Amino acid sequence: MGDSRSKVAVLIGAGMVARTHVAAVAAAGDAVRLKAICSRSRDRAEALAAEATAAIDRPVSALTDLNAVATDPEVDFAVILTPPDARADLIRPLAEAGKHILLEKPMGRNADEAREVVRICRAAGVTLGVVFQHRMRAASLKAAELVKGGALGSLGLVEISVPWWREQAYYDEPGRGTYARDGGGVLISQAIHTIDLALSLAGPVDSVRAMATTTRFHDMEAEDFVVAGLRFAGGAVGSMVASTASFPGGAESITLHFDKASLHLESGQLLVRWRDGREERFGATGGTGGGADPMAFTHEWHQGIIEDFVDALDEGREPVVNGEAALAAHDLIDATIRSARSGQAEELAA
């Protein structure tokens, strides 16, 4: 066991998802002490620090200097919430200063950048966790338990669907939906959560054949619609459809068809349909952020990720989603876009 005192954290970034993390830290109680909000914008840092101070009922300061975080001996870990266009340069000084890293998806704009982040943290000897909070839903945990248990038989078919909607105003923010800042469109910014969860249950993909395009509903550089056929390493086949052009937006879903049952994950619920006629339900329905409001979801899943990360530091183990585990989603996204551009099936490295 490691040091089980409260871990001191700093949030790096004060954008859209930062308030969710503040709420998650507040709900985590004594496990985490949020010391500061760090942002290039003094005004945004101060505004969010004031909100955090009120929510947590202890002082949270505002910073604009990353070096102040790296050199603070009290800080155990940083939660990185910035866009992915400069992740390595941001993480390197923190990791080399011994600060553990909890990173909002995506790890980088592409798989190569994601691997560089993993390499930096490994070389520095710090723990890297990735915020794929869908894995912390009760329904997801139950699905993982059932798959691991082996009673379902062999997997034959996987269906992944992300029918989301974003107003044009969402993409009017400078850099959003561009390759330079975000690394792409719907796959890396929205569907990556569902992709990660699906791969954690179904295993790796061997090859993909895809189409990706931008519909008439958005003026943006990258894709807002993707459809792909998948072949999994374990022998199953599958489909993936992802969109931010599907008005008014619906819940993402994953359906896994096994020999003895089919598992359907949607809106925080798991439906198990056994081939013998039985049906079981697990979990509770919740918001997904699939409609016009991208923040229409609970902070509880982020809280689960943060608490697991703190426990991992205490126990000297890997967090539930470490850097290596998160690479699978990046590899599939990159291969899907390559396939869409080439018009050919693309193989994924073993």
pLDDT over threshold 80, residue 4: no
Q: Which 8-state DSSP code applies to residue 6? A: P
Average pLDDT, the chain: 94
pLDDT over threshold 70, residue 288: no
Residues 173-184: tens digit of each pLDDT: 999 999 999 999
The CB-side HSE value for 71 (13 A sphere, CA atoms) comes to 5
Which pLDDT does position 287 carry in this prediction?
57
Residue whose pair of structure tokens reads 């249950």 in the numeric block = 201
Q: How many residues does the structure list for the chain?
A: 350
pLDDT band at 1 (very low <50, low <70, confident <90, very high): very low
What are phi and psi for residue 230, nearest 5 degrees?
A: -125, 145
Superfamily designation of domain 7-134+301-320: NAD(P)-binding Rossmann-like Domain (3.40.50.720)
Q: Taking the model in full, what pTM does it have?
A: 0.93
Q: Which 8-state DSSP code applies to residue 44? A: H
Angle at Cα 176 formed by Cα 170 and Cα 179, nearest 5°?
150
**String of b and e for 57-69 (b: at least 16 CB within 10 Å)?**
eeebbbbeebeeb
Residue whose pair of structure tokens reads 């790296």 in the numeric block = 70
Name the residue among 348, 193, 160 with its Cα closest to residue 264: 160
Percentage with pLDDT > 70 across the chain: 95
Domain positions in the chain: 7-134+301-320, 135-291+329-347
Residue 149, amino acid: G
Which pLDDT does position 297 carry in this prediction?
55
Residues 173-214: tens digit of each pLDDT: 999 999 999 999 999 999 999 999 999 999 999 999 999 999
Name the residue among 76, 98, 80 with its Cα closest to residue 39: 80
- 135-291+329-347 domain in CATH 3.30.360.10? yes
Question: CB of 125 within 8 A of CB of 151?
Answer: no
Name the residue among 108, 130, 126, 105 with its Cα closest to residue 117: 108
